[in-house]
Amino acid sequence: MLNSFLALKNPTLVLFASNMLKSIFHKINRWRFRRNSQRNFLIYCSVFVGFFGGLAAIALKFLVHFMEDVSRRISSHLYYHIAYVFLPALGIFLAVAYQHLINRDKIQKGIGNILINIKKNRSNIRLNNIYSHIFTSSLTVGFGGSAGLEAPIVATGAAIGSNVGKFFKLTPYEKTVLLAAGASAGIAAVFNSPIAGVLFSLEILIGEVTIPTFIPLLIASATGVVVSKLLYSGQLFHLVTEGWVVSAIPFYILLGLLSGYTAIYITKVGGRLEAGIFKKQNRYVRALSGGLILGIIIMLFPALFGEGYHYLQEILNGNIDALKQETLFADWLSQPLLMLLFIGALVLMKIIAAGITLGSGGNGGSFAPTMFTGAFLGLLVAYGVNLTGLVHLNTSNFIAVGMAGALAGVMHAPLTAIFLIAEITGGYVLFIPLMIVASISYIISRLSSPHNIYWQHLVHHNDIHPGQDYGMLNAITLDSIINRNYTAVDKQTTINDFYKILAKTDANIFPVLKEDGRLEGVVLIDDIRRRLFNQEIAESTIADIMIVPPTIIDYDQPASSVMETFDAIDVWQLPVTKDNLFIGFISKSALLSKYREAIISQHKANDLFA
């Protein structure tokens, strides 16, 4: 092993490996351009992304389940499961240490960061995100952190798709498609739900439905499910249902209303806690403090341990007495009213536990906590109504439909919620109740906030908004519209000498540069035209008429940000610098023209799949 490591340090071998990769890349590209259309190549890439996205998802789930089993065995040998107090703190502490010491804080956690990369970074995601989420989220959730694995799985799949696109130098639009394909494969592999995987990416990541995006996503999602079936064949949930009855519709409407308000609660409370707790403390104190608080909550409510899917399956099976396991209140919960209150407490506490997990530095998501909360809300409604003895409701149906209601309200993605629950529970006969509850919850949540849980934080703190304009603009590279044909002047140049320069060019803007190439100012002919031919300033110098530009564009700035800058300061040309050195000008008209070309190009791409 040591010899292998040393061999990697050998510059000759590194150079050889680099040349080999370049050779493979060139051969693939030659094959790609000679024998395949861009449409076909994107499909081949989606199969590759789907395979490895599914593989990563299964590896993560297997690792987390293994660690959860170890944690539960440790806890079972200690008095009153006291291990639940310190195990979550240990997991979060290790995850934070990995992020800080090994990953160097380069991990991009959460689906919100994926959206930022799509909108502002031309769908480029760092390579380390392919593996860093697997380690940190398995440590967090495996030791009891009350969060979901779906966000890390989506982030891992998205990173795979983005980096495949970067390797083959695909356009930002094509990278976005592969990024979404990786996310779809991850969701599909975990839940064995290919349609829900596709809909998740369309509703949450891309925000539009077109054939060029739908087909690669569908192929990647199907590939992820095939990988899941081969390597991890177990179904996440099992539901045996006899269908629904018309007399239960008023109670489904009630569940839809409660789901909408619960979704608002999840978004607000979860969002505040996820923003960070104990902010004045260093990261390790924050991890241990938050982890210990979380541990105390889990000791009181053991169903909050990890993702909580074990207890969710138990209540789907009708085994509500499973909630008494490992609790300090087992005797009390034999009373139906106290059990009802306990279920209500689980509805409220799951998102608090998830927020503490993420706010103290753990890696996970709100997807599973939302499903858990919705499931127990459905149980609360059905169990409470059944206690009255007036009506009997199918508890399993309400649990399944409650999951869809919570997801639709929190994510503002009713189609994803409906098809996900239908696929993972096999409850296709529940389509009408799913539609009723998901749509009511979605409407109520939208009335409270126009943005879902992922966009709400981005809109307020990152000043980006959902919509296609950002994606289309960021498909443009600034290098393609920078005007490098300029005439630089020195600030000591006299106006008389400047006349000679003007006679040889049609430019109306001139950069004033230092000897090292840095920008000092600009001369705008339109602003000084009348003064320029005044004989009183003929002996003056450029320093007397130059101005400091209102702002300077950085070469690596996304095109959407450049357009926002143009709109904000109402100018038509701005200087561009790279590494603090002036390289040219960019005009608003050139950017608008390129934007129009990007729209036409995407329409042509749509026609390829029509």
| String of DSSP letters for 493-508 | -BHHHHHHHHTT---S
Q: How many CB atoms lie within 10 A of CB 389?
A: 7
Tell me what the mean pLDDT of segment 508-519 comes to. 88
Give the chain's radius of gyration (CA, Å).
29
Record the tokens describing residue 288, joined without a space: 């241990």
Alpha-carbon span 71 to 453, nearest angstrom: 31
pLDDT at 18: 63
Q: What is the per-residue pLDDT across 149-198, written as a single tens digit (0 to 9) for each?
A: 889 999 999 999 999 998 888 877 888 899 999 999 999 998 888 999 99
β-strand pairing of 581-587 with 573-578: antiparallel
Looking at residue 600, its amino acid is: I
β-strand pairing of 553-554 with 519-524: unpaired
pLDDT at 603: 54
DSSP SS3 for 137: helix
Q: What is the per-residue pLDDT across 572-596, written as a single tens digit (0 to 9) for each?
A: 889 999 888 999 999 888 888 887 7
Note the Cα 260 to chain centre separation in Å: 23
Using CA atoms, how far residue 388 sits from 133, 299, 433, 461, in Å, is 47, 31, 22, 47
Q: Is the pLDDT of residue 7 over 50?
A: no
Using CA atoms, how far residue 512 sits from 299, 537, 555, in Å, is 68, 18, 18
Tell me what the mean pLDDT of segment 108-129 comes to. 85
Q: Is the pLDDT of residue 36 over 80?
A: no
Tell me what the mean pLDDT of segment 202-222 comes to. 84
Tell me what the mean pLDDT of segment 524-540 comes to. 70
Q: Is the pLDDT of residue 506 over 60?
A: yes
Alpha-carbon span 249 to 399, nearest angstrom: 15
Record the tokens describing residue 67, joined without a space: 């660690």
Average pLDDT over all residues of the chain:
84
148 DSSP β-pair partners: 365
Please tell me which of 18-22, 77-81, 116-120, 136-140 the model is most confident about, judged by mean pLDDT.
136-140
Tell me what the mean pLDDT of segment 299-322 comes to. 89
Record the tokens describing residue 454, joined without a space: 């992922």
| Greater pLDDT, 461 or 82 | 82
Q: How many CB atoms lie within 10 A of CB 236?
A: 17
Residue among 466, 402, 399 at smallest CA distance from 440? 402
pLDDT at 498: 82
Tell me what the mean pLDDT of segment 380-408 comes to. 94
Tell me what the mean pLDDT of segment 372-381 comes to. 96
Q: What percentage of the chain has pLDDT greater than the value 70?
A: 83
Question: 96 with 284: CB under 8 angstroms?
Answer: yes
Question: Among 75-79, 169-173, 326-330, whose mean pLDDT is lowest?
Answer: 75-79
Q: Is the pLDDT of residue 542 over 50?
A: yes
pLDDT at 6: 42
Classify residue 83 as left (phi > 0), alpha (psi -120 to 50) or beta. alpha
Looking at residue 422, its amino acid is: A
Location of structure tokens 């920008």: 519
Question: Among 207-216, 292-301, 403-412, whose mean pLDDT is lowest?
Answer: 207-216
Quote the Cα angle for 80-82-85, to 5°: 140
Q: Is the pLDDT of residue 598 over 70?
A: no
Looking at residue 598, its amino acid is: A
pLDDT at 287: 94
pLDDT at 471: 58
Q: Which helix (H) or strand (E) holds 290?
A: helix 283-300
Using CA atoms, how far residue 300 sits from 63, 141, 339, in Å, is 26, 18, 14
Tell me what the mean pLDDT of segment 385-402 comes to. 92
DSSP assignment string, 405-459: HHHHHHHS-HHHHHHHHHHHH--GGGHHHHHHHHHHHHHHHHHH-SS-HHHHHHH
Q: Is the pLDDT of residue 210 over 80?
A: no
Tell me what the mean pLDDT of segment 289-304 comes to. 93
Q: Is the pLDDT of residue 380 over 90?
A: yes
φ, ψ dihedrals at 243, nearest 5°: 95, -175
Q: What is the per-residue pLDDT across 264-285, written as a single tens digit (0 to 9) for each?
A: 999 999 888 988 888 888 999 9
DSSP assignment string, 87-150: HHHHHHHHHHHIIIIISTT----SHHHHHHHHHHSTT---TTHHHHHHHHHHHHHHTT-S-BSH
pLDDT at 225: 92
Enumerate residues 6+ apart whose C-beta is below 8 A from 263: 370, 405, 406, 408, 409, 410, 441, 444, 445
Using CA atoms, how far residue 412 sits from 363, 373, 404, 406, 450, in Å, is 23, 16, 11, 10, 9
Beta strands in 167-310, from DSSP E residues, in sequence order: none
pLDDT at 79: 61
pLDDT at 62: 87
Alpha-carbon span 96 to 88, nearest angstrom: 12
Q: How sure is the predictor about 427, in pLDDT bands with cuts at 50, 70 and 90?
A: low
Tell me what the mean pLDDT of segment 67-74 comes to. 81
| Greater pLDDT, 604 or 17 | 17
Question: 198 with 209: CB under 8 angstroms?
Answer: no
Q: Which helix (H) or strand (E) holds 152?
A: helix 150-167
Question: Among 15-24, 410-419, 514-523, 546-555, whose mean pLDDT is lowest?
Answer: 15-24
Alpha-carbon span 339 to 320, nearest angstrom: 9
pLDDT at 531: 67
Question: 503 with 481: CB under 8 angstroms?
Answer: no
pLDDT at 118: 83
pLDDT at 4: 44
| Greater pLDDT, 22 or 161 | 161
Please tell me which of 74-83, 92-101, 170-179 the model is most confident about, judged by mean pLDDT.
92-101
Alpha-carbon span 493 to 472, nearest angstrom: 42
Note the Cα 269 to chain centre separation in Å: 19
Note the Cα 121 to chain centre separation in Å: 13
β-strand pairing of 519-524 with 509-513: antiparallel
pLDDT at 432: 92
